[in-house]
Amino acid sequence: MAAPRGPDETDRIFELQEQVDQLKEAVTSHAVVDQAIGLVVALARVTPDQGWAVLREVSQHTNTRLRNVAELILAWGRSGVMPAEIRVELEDALDRHGPPQIPGSATD
């Protein structure tokens, strides 16, 4: 690779590196959110669209970044531990978006 020819090229290299870093962060964040949606879908028996709505509402109602909510839900899936504020909002959102009852339950 040739060395930058001047300040303009050096600035452009720094700008491109910053864009690459932002794209890497976006890809990672997207994967975390997708995994959390999958966990909600599997455990709560909701559709992926409902899972997305649940995460978005928990994020909005707790004033917590969506990626952070997703990370907390994934950690809960591994450890069974979730902050009380997130748990309460998650339960409320699932009550709004989830099925009225679990398919195959005794009340079917």
Task: Read off the pLDDT of each residue in 4-20 and give the average, rounded to a whole number.
Answer: 80
pLDDT band at 30 (very low <50, low <70, confident <90, very high): confident
Q: Does 32 map to a domain?
A: no
What are the tens digits of pLDDT across the range 62-86? 999 999 999 999 999 999 999 999 9
DSSP 60-102: HHHT--HHHHHHHHHHHHHHS---HHHHHHHHHHHHHHS-SS-
Residue 67 lies in a domain: yes
Instruction: Look at residue 82 and tell me if it is in a domain.
Output: yes
Neighbours of 8 (CB within 10 A): 9
Full residue range of the structural domain in which residue 64 is found? 39-98
Q: What is the pLDDT of residue 63?
A: 96
Overall domain count for the chain:
1
Q: Quote the pTM value.
A: 0.70
